[in-house]
Every structure is written in C-alpha cells, then in structure tokens.
Amino acid sequence: MHVFIDESGSFTGYHGQSLSVVGALAIPDGKLEFINRKYAKIGPRLPQEKAEVKGRLLIEPQVNEVITLRSRNDELFEITAIDLGFHAESDVAADKQKHAEGMLARVDRFREPHRTLVEKACHQISATSLPLYIQAISTFELLHSIINHVPLYFAQRQPQELATFTWIVDGKEPKKKNQLGNVVVVVCARSTVQCVETTPCAPAGRGRLLILRPIHGEN
C-alpha cells in the first residue's frame, strides 16, 4: 500500500474561510503502475505552476477526469481540514504553550530513552511556529483516520495490500521537516491532550473539519 500525504493552505490567517487541509491518498500497490501510466496521459493536459499540477487551477471537467480515474481504481482519500476563522491567534498560541507545559510536567512518567525524546519534543513545541504546530496537529488527526479506515476498507477487498505500507510525504526544508516530526511525536503521546473535535465536512471520500481543543488536566 502506498500512502501519499500533502497539504494545501498556509495554516494561518485568522479570518472567515481561512481554510487549510492535509490530505492522504491510499493507493494499492497492485494498481500503482497502472494509475501512473493513466495519469501520465492526463497530467500534461492539466494546468501547472512551477512544473506541478495545482488543483486550484483545474476547471470542472479536469477535476472530474482526475477523480474518475481515482474512483475506478480502489483508491481511498482521507482529508483533515481546519478553518482558522473559528479561532483567535492569541488563543491558539496560549493553547500551544499549555500543551507544551502540560506534557513537560509529565515527562517523569516516561522511561529512558523515551523520556529524553519527549522532553526535547516538548521544548520544540514551544519554539515551533503556530502554522507548523497547527499543521502537525492536523497531520496527526489525518494519520489517525488512515490507521482506522484504510485497513478496514482494504481488508474486505484486497487484504494482500496490507502487508506493507510505503509513506510518501510532501517534501519540506530539512529544518521544517525535523520540527514537524518532533511535534507529531509529542502529539502522539496524547498523555494530556484530547487534540481535536472532528465532524464530517466532505461529501466525497472521507472528510473532517478540525477544531483545536486542548485539555490540560488529568485525562
């Protein structure tokens, strides 16, 4: 199984309809070569920016052509979206700091060598920019959806595809990639935080609207 993860949006801008998303496309290994050949015929006809196809530039028939190719080949799409218009920047910053402090207060519950890693990641949360922190939380929720939905979906259709998973994540600057990884490590611990509340938001595939809701007490 190949899982491709990418994001869209800046994860900043606290105004109405300030949407950012992280999406994942799960493609069975047995279909990947066929899909690549088919898409190689479609791709050159699609509008591009810096040699990359951009969804925002597609017109409706082009969107339909791409989605039809995906839907006919047993692909599964997961998406997590956040609208920062529901949040104030000061509140998100305060929650981020409380998240870091809450985790740091519980570092002693971890054994070495994990304790050192968690402590380092806690400090990284404090130093991480708000957009990257929100993206990390969104990515974690997306991974949670993939782990819950993809095995169940393919276990009933192509169980052999669950033998191995290959993850392809949109490339970033090395410094930013390391920051994101450290933040996700701490979020995964979830010792002090119920990170999100999610509600369905997309008619096609699976979609979630993400609302940050840290809980800083005993869980």
Give which of 75, 82, 206 is closest to 139, Cα–Cα: 82
The amino acid sitting at 170 is D
pLDDT tens figures, 105-136 = 888 888 888 888 888 888 888 888 999 999 98
Q: Taking residues 134-140, what's their average pLDDT?
A: 89
Cβ-based neighbour number of residue 212 at 10 Å: 21
pLDDT tens figures, 33-77 = 999 999 999 989 999 888 888 888 989 999 999 989 988 888 999
Pairing of strands 76-83, 19-27: antiparallel
Residue 207: its H or E element: strand 206-212
Is pTM beyond 0.75 here?
A: no
- State percent of the chain over pLDDT 90: 32
Cβ-based neighbour number of residue 141 at 10 Å: 21
Stronger pLDDT, 123 or 174, i.e. the higher one: 123
What are the domain boundaries of the chain?
2-28+74-212
